[in-house]
C-alpha cells in the first residue's frame, strides 16, 4: 500500500499555476427598446480580465437614458402613498433607488409613490427577461491557457501540449472522448457536462467550476504529465431554497447627451461566472522518503508482535493455554 499505491518512495510537491482566458463569440438581438444590435466580447465579458475567472453576461435588464433628478419611486408597501404626509423627507432604505423628497407624486394613472432624488427613471427589475437576452451565449467559446510549475523539481508545463499545432487549435473544441486535450471549451458543453441546462441557468445566472487536475509521476516521461478537465456547478440549485438565486450585479455606461447633461445606461447583468480551479501534485523518487518509509515499516513489524501477544494472551478463549506455552515458571533458587 505505502510503496505501490501511495508511492512512498517519492518526494511530492504541490502545483503553482497561472491562468489566462479568452472568450470568443458574436450574437444578434432585436428588441423594441434597442432595435437590432450586435453583441461581441467587449459587450458581454465583464470585466475584460479577472484572476482565474471569467464572467459572461447571458441576460440583462437595461434602463436607458437615466439622468439625475426627481422622479417617482417604484411602488411597493413602503413607497406607495396618497398624501405628502406619507413620505418622509430624507428617508432612504437599503432597497431605495434614491432619497425621498417628501412629495407624493403619480407613478402611473392609478398609483402614487413617494418622489425621490435619484437617477431617473428608476430601474424596474421586477420582471427578469425569459428566455435569456443572450440565448446564443451557449455557442460562445473560451480558450483557457494554463501554465503550471512544480518548484521542488523545477518542472513546468502548459495545457497547450507540444503535440498541439496552430491549425488544430483554430478548429478544435474540447470533448472528453475525441479531443480531451483541446483547451477551447464551448460554454454550453461546460454547463451540460456538469449536469445543468444552459438556457435555464442563463436566465438568472450562476457559478461554474472548470477544474484542471495536474497529477504527475515525474519518474515517467514528461509527455505523460497531462491535464485532466472536469466541470461542476458551484452554486448548487436547490428547489427548496429559491430566495436570491443565480448571480447578478450592476454597472453603468456614462455619456453626455446633446444638452451636455450627464446621462447613463444602467445595466443589471445576469450571467455565468466560470472559475478555473487548478490543483494537483507531482512525485519523484528520493532516497530520504524511501528510507523513512522502510524504517517505519520495520518498526511496524515490532509493534505487530506486541499487538499479537496482547490479543492471544488476554482476548482469546485459550489464553491460559497460550500463556503456559509462552512463559516457563521456575522455582526461586534461594527458596
Q: What is the CATH number of the domain that holds 38?
A: 2.60.490.10
Q: Does the pLDDT value for residue 231 go beyond 90?
A: yes
Kindly state whether residue 231 falls inside one of the protein's structural domains.
yes
Closest among 108, 88, 111, 112 to 100, alpha carbons compared: 88
**Is 249 assigned a ligand-binding role in the annotation?**
yes
**Is 250 assigned a ligand-binding role in the annotation?**
yes
Same domain membership, residue 291 and residue 266? no
Kindly state whether residue 333 falls inside one of the protein's structural domains.
no
Number of domains composing the chain: 3
Mean local confidence (pLDDT), 172-193 = 95
Whether omega for the bond prior to residue 47 falls within 30 degrees of 0, making it cis, is yes
What does the DSSP 8-state code read for residue 188?
A: H
Same domain membership, residue 263 and residue 207? yes
Going 108 to 113 to 116 to 119, the CA torsion angle's sign is negative
Summarised one tens digit per residue, pLDDT across range 248-304 is 999 999 999 888 999 999 999 999 999 999 999 999 887 777 787 778 777 877 787
Mean local confidence (pLDDT), 151-167 = 93
Kindly state whether residue 10 falls inside one of the protein's structural domains.
no
**Is 141 assigned a ligand-binding role in the annotation?**
yes
Same domain membership, residue 163 and residue 106? no
Angle value at C-alpha 214, between 209 and 217, nearest 5 degrees: 160
Kindly state whether residue 9 falls inside one of the protein's structural domains.
no
Kindly state whether residue 268 falls inside one of the protein's structural domains.
yes
Same domain membership, residue 154 and residue 40? yes
Same domain membership, residue 177 and residue 28? yes
Same domain membership, residue 110 and residue 51? no
Same domain membership, residue 224 and residue 182? yes
Summarised one tens digit per residue, pLDDT across range 185-202 is 999 999 999 999 999 999
Q: How confident is the model at residue 241 (pLDDT cuts 50, 70, 90)?
A: low
Determine the pLDDT at residue 53.
95
Kindly state whether residue 22 falls inside one of the protein's structural domains.
yes
Same domain membership, residue 140 and residue 111? no
Kindly state whether residue 332 falls inside one of the protein's structural domains.
no
**Is 284 assigned a ligand-binding role in the annotation?**
no
Same domain membership, residue 206 and residue 83? no
Q: Which three cell numbers stand for residue 262?
A: 450627464
Summarised one tens digit per residue, pLDDT across range 62-121 is 999 999 999 999 998 889 998 888 899 999 988 899 999 999 999 998 999 999 999 999
Higher-pLDDT residue of 319 and 249 is 249
Kindly state whether residue 3 falls inside one of the protein's structural domains.
no
**Is 59 assigned a ligand-binding role in the annotation?**
no
Summarised one tens digit per residue, pLDDT across range 21-50 is 999 999 999 888 888 999 999 999 999 989
Same domain membership, residue 321 and residue 190? no
Determine the pLDDT at residue 299.
80
Same domain membership, residue 79 and residue 228? no
Same domain membership, residue 220 and residue 89? no
Determine the pLDDT at residue 243.
78
Helix ranges (DSSP H) in the chain: 41-44, 166-171, 187-193, 198-204, 287-310, 319-326
Residue 91's domain comprises: 74-121
- Alpha carbons 142 and 164: distance in angstroms, whole number: 17
**Is 155 assigned a ligand-binding role in the annotation?**
no
Amino acid at each position: 500500500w505505502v510503496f505501490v499505491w501511495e508511492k512512498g518512495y517519492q518526494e511530492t510537491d504541490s502545483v503553482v499555476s497561472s491562468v489566462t482566458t479568452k472568450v470568443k463569440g458574436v450574437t444578434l438581438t432585436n428588441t423594441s427598446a434597442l432595435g437590432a444590435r450586435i453583441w461581441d466580447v467587449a459587450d458581454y465579458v465583464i470585466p475584460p480580465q479577472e484572476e482565474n475567472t471569467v464572467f459572461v453576461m447571458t441576460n440583462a435588464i437595461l434602463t436607458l437614458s437615466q439622468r439625475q433628478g426627481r422622479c417617482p419611486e417604484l411602488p411597493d408597501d413602503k413607497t406607495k402613498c396618497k398624501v405628502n404626509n406619507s413620505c418622509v423627507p430624507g428617508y432612504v432604505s437599503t432597497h431605495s433607488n434614491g432619497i425621498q423628497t417628501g412629495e407624493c407624486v403619480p407613478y402611473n394613472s392609478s398609483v402614487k409613490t413617494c418622489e425621490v432624488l435619484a437617477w431617473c427613471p428608476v430601474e424596474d427589475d421586477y420582471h427578469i427577461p425569459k428566455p435569456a437576452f443572450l440565448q446564443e451565449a451557449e455557442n460562445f467559446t473560451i480558450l483557457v491557457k494554463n501554465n503550471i510549475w512544480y518548484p521542488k523539481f523545477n518542472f513546468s508545463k502548459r495545457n497547450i501540449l507540444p503535440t498541439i499545432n496552430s491549425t488544430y487549435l483554430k478548429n478544435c473544441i474540447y470533448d472528453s472522448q475525441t479531443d480531451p486535450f483541446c483547451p477551447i471549451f464551448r460554454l454550453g458543453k461546460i454547463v451540460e457536462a456538469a449536469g445543468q441546462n444552459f438556457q435555464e441557468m442563463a436566465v438568472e445566472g450562476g457559478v461554474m467550476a472548470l477544474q484542471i487536475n495536474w497529477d504527475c509521476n515525474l519518474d515517467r516521461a514528461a509527455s505523460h504529465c497531462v491535464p485532466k478537465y472536469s466541470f461542476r456547478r458551484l452554486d448548487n440549485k436547490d428547489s427548496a431554497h429559491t430566495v436570491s438565486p443565480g448571480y447578478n450585479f450592476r454597472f453603468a455606461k456614462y455619456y453626455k447627451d446633446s444638452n451636455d447633461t450627464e446621462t447613463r445606461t444602467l445595466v443589471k447583468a445576469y450571467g455565468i461566472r466560470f472559475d478555473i480551479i487548478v490543483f494537483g501534485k507531482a512525485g519523484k523518487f528520493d532516497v530520504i522518503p524511501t528510507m523513512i518509509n522502510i524504517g517505519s515499516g520495520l518498526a511496524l513489524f515490532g509493534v505487530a508482535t506486541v499487538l499479537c501477544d496482547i490479543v492471544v494472551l488476554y482476548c482469546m478463549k485459550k489464553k491460559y493455554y497460550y500463556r503456559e506455552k509462552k512463559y516457563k515458571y521456575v522455582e526461586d533458587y534461594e527458596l
